Amino acid sequence: MTKQASNYFLLMLGSLFISSNIFLSCNNSTPDSRGNQVFRYNEHKNIGSLDPAFAKDNADISAINQLFNGLVQMDSMMTVTPSIASSWQISEDAKVYTFQLRKDVYFHTHQLFGAAQTRTVTANDFVFSFDRLKNPQLAAPGAWVLQNVERYKAINSHSFQITLKTPFPAFLGLLTMKYCSVVPKEIVNHYGTDFRSNPIGTGPFKFKRWEENIKLIFRKNKRYFETNKAGQKLPHLEAVSISFLADKQSEFLQFIQGNIDYITGLDASYKDDILQADGTLKSRYASSIKMLRAPYLNTEYLGFYLDSEEPEYQNKQIRQALNYGFDRKKMMTYLRNGIGIPALGGFIPQGLPGHNEQLGYNYQPEKAKELIEAYKTESGNLKPTITLTTTSNYLSFSEFIQRELQSIGLTITIEVIPPSSLKSVKSNGKVDLFRASWVADYPDAQNYLSLFYSANFAPNGPNYTHFKDEQFDVLYEQALLETNQATRVDLYKKMDALVIEKAPVVVLFYDEVIRFTAVNIKGLGINPTNLLELKNIQKN
């Protein structure tokens, strides 16, 4: 982009922020003209849907979390707490869960509800929501979360019961996923697939306007049922404004200029401007920016599509050579200013039972070269080449790996596409080697291992690599039935070892949550899944 084009782009962006504030101020319960009651953030990955049944990545989940609630929710310590369910009981055999629902939870207003424009949530709404999630015609990517559910029913208007096929200790955590949010039958049936852009939920904010790829606006839900510890009604903010700048450097500039209130993650385009080499905030930002940092249940990796028609991607020697062929510690030091943990263990990240630090690939360039030479001899292909598809935000990582592998005889070409495009081609098997990440939906290693269970092949599940191994599947299904924690963790370690040995993925690093906010933002907090929670925020 030329300097003139860049200035024009930023000028147009500024006008969008101004028009957004004008739009908000022209409605009832207006935030003040300085935007002190509007929380503004950018979503560089775009948002594909506001329908919770399709809440499969962080961009969608962050927005949907403001609009919808489920039976339970996860707090910042990864503890399951009440939401629409005020309490629950679990049977002695750990298979029957009975939830008592609050009676003061209302859906957001809509004319389809009739004269009252709203109504309370009942147990039958959860029956409908779960039926919809399981419906094969909807083809929701979250249908798998109910695969161990035998049945569910409304006992009465405010009692909902779920019976599992087999005990599953992590089930309550599973129910905190946005897939399990409650939705109203009359609204969903009216809009059909257009519910994605006409969401009606129960959350702290309600949908107002969405100009796709440009601006998304939420307004305060004045009927919201939760309060803070002091008994004050939530949320505190009047509105949320989301922009969609795809470029992380432009996002950072908007943050520094005060046009957005928060950014998360660390990008090569600004990491050295904001952080010291040791990962601490630079002194010039001390009075204007707050930094939050915490462990993150996120594994960053490269994935091979094992159903590829190209032999290089199907070959284990190539995949293992790529794992051995670059220095993860050096990569994290120079490309991330020490933010994040080099992945020298398995796919299960640090912090979860089942992680094994001795499991992964360390830096062995000679071993990598031997594997490449063996592949050349066996295949007759003297110039093996693979293509890595990534986004601009991870180009520096891709180029680092490209340089390291070139010296051992493996040529890597790099294709850079927008995040939304990568999400699509990854889900539909249209790319042979891709950069990806997996953030825990709930704090159990089974969540990570679900990416390699053969019944979860994408696009209907999270197995993007199409990894299939009979022994792995047997262990996975055995772990679902196992109630003894120690035995289940042992099964997790065996599964992770199988994945690492077969190398459908190249585990890069275990991430850390890093958030930067303006100093006038209070109550944002931080959590190991980087879930964006806006209901407690106050903006002074």
Domain ranges within the chain, ordered by starting residue: 35-244, 296-513
Burial class (CB in 10 A: 0-12, 13-18, 19+), 261: buried
Q: List C-alpha distances in Å: 30 to 26, 36, 251.
A: 7, 11, 26
Alpha helices in 433-505 (DSSP H): 446-449, 470-481, 485-502
Task: Tell me if residue 538 falls in helix, strand or coil.
Answer: strand
Which residues have C-beta within 8 Å of that of residue 367, sequence separation ≥ 6?
A: 321, 324
What are the φ/ψ torsions at residue 340 (nearest 5 degrees)?
A: 110, 160
Which residues of the chain have a pLDDT value below 70? 1-35
Q: What share of the chain is helix, strand, coil (3-state, %, to 5)?
A: 35, 20, 40
Residue where the block lists tokens 């009692």: 159
> Taking Cα atoms as reference points, which of 122, 185, 182 lies closest to residue 158?
122
Q: Say what the alpha-carbon torsion angle 117, 118, 124, 126 is, to the nearest 10 degrees.
A: 120
User: Tokens in use for 183?
Assistant: 């939705």
Compute CA 176 distance to the chain's CA centroid, rounded to the nearest angstrom. Answer: 13
31 and 37 in contact (C-beta within 8 Å)? yes
Beta strand pairing call for 205-211 and 215-220? antiparallel
| Distance of alpha carbon 341 from alpha carbon 510, whole angstroms | 5
pLDDT (0 to 100) of residue 79:
86
The amino acid present at 320, given as its one-letter code, is Q
Phi, psi of 387 (to 5 degrees): -115, 125
Query: For residue 45, what pLDDT is reported?
Result: 82
Q: What is the pTM of this model?
A: 0.74
Is the backbone of residue 66 left (phi > 0), alpha (psi -120 to 50) or beta? alpha
Would you say the CATH fold of 296-513 matches that of 35-244?
no
Crossing angle for the helix pair 395-406 and 328-336, to the nearest 10 degrees: 140
Architecture of the domain whose range is 35-244: 3-Layer(aba) Sandwich (3.40)
Adjacency order of strands within the sheet including 96-101:
85-90, 96-101, 159-164, 149-156
Percentage with pLDDT > 90 across the chain: 79
- Cα distances from 59 to residues 113, 280, 380, 423, 475, in angstroms, run 29, 26, 44, 11, 32
Quote the pLDDT of residue 35.
57
Q: What pLDDT is attached to residue 481?
A: 78
pLDDT for res 34: 47
DSSP assignment of 201-233: --SSEEEEEEETTTEEEEEE-TT---B-TTS-B
CA nearest neighbour of 493 among 361, 301, 359: 359
98: helix, strand or coil: strand
Task: Give the pLDDT confidence of 29-40 residue by residue, as tens digits.
Answer: 444 444 579 999
Alpha-helical regions (H) of 26-164: 58-67, 123-134
- Coil, helix or strand at residue 49: coil
* Cα 454 from Cα 446, distance rounded (Å): 14
Residue 413: beta bridge partners? 387
Q: Assign domain 296-513 to its CATH architecture.
A: Roll (3.10)
Tell me the CB-side half-sphere exposure of residue 300, using CA atoms within 13 A: 22
Token digits of residue 221: 């839900």
CA 291 to chain centre: 21
355, 346 Cβ separation under 8 angstroms:
yes
Question: In whole angstroms, what is the distance from residue 498 CA to residue 354 CA?
Answer: 13
Q: Cβ–Cβ contacts within 10 Å for residue 227, how many?
A: 10
